[in-house]
Amino acid sequence: MHSIEEIPTRDIAPASPLPVEADATLQRWLAIAQQTKDTVTIILMLSTGMLIFGVLFGIAIPGLVLYCLRWKLVPEGANRDRTGWLWLLTLAHELVWATCFLNAGPQEDDLIIGHLDIGYGLGALVSLFGLLSSGWFISGKRQ
């Protein structure tokens, strides 16, 4: 009689469209792009006094917290679940402020404030790419 050995089955996650190394590298470059954009925005807001006003009234604090937390994405090896949440919160933050500055309208007398909607729009685009590349919401099983 023939004996058939059963091979234990495991939950196999669906294959990622990109290799893990490519995902980590892409996440790293997107985080660097977002941090660069935010660093320039912070410097420009400091030059106009807007950041100090925002901190005093509390509206700039969530963005500064996200800015500090995102530095964990720059080195490779960030946790997928944490990365997904961070990109999602960053996307929400960028969209809210892009909408606020867009609704305020262009300020002809102040070049910096008049173009913050474009900066936040670019940040929302980078955050969207970061969220999509993380694969966080696609897999049924989060790590």
- Cβ atoms of 131 and 88 within 8 Å: the answer is yes
Q: What's the average pLDDT block by block, 10 residues per block, for the chain (143 residues)?
A: 55 48 78 92 85 85 91 74 89 91 68 75 93 76 47
CB 89 within 8 A of CB 130: no
Which tokens go with 138? 């696609």
pLDDT of residue 4: 59
Which pair of tokens denotes residue 48?
A: 């106009």
**In 3-state terms, what secondary structure has residue 109?**
coil
Helices H / strands E in the chain, number of each: 6, 0
Query: What pTM value is reported for the model?
Result: 0.74
Asked if residue 93 lies in contact with residue 66, where contact means CB atoms within 8 angstroms, the answer is yes
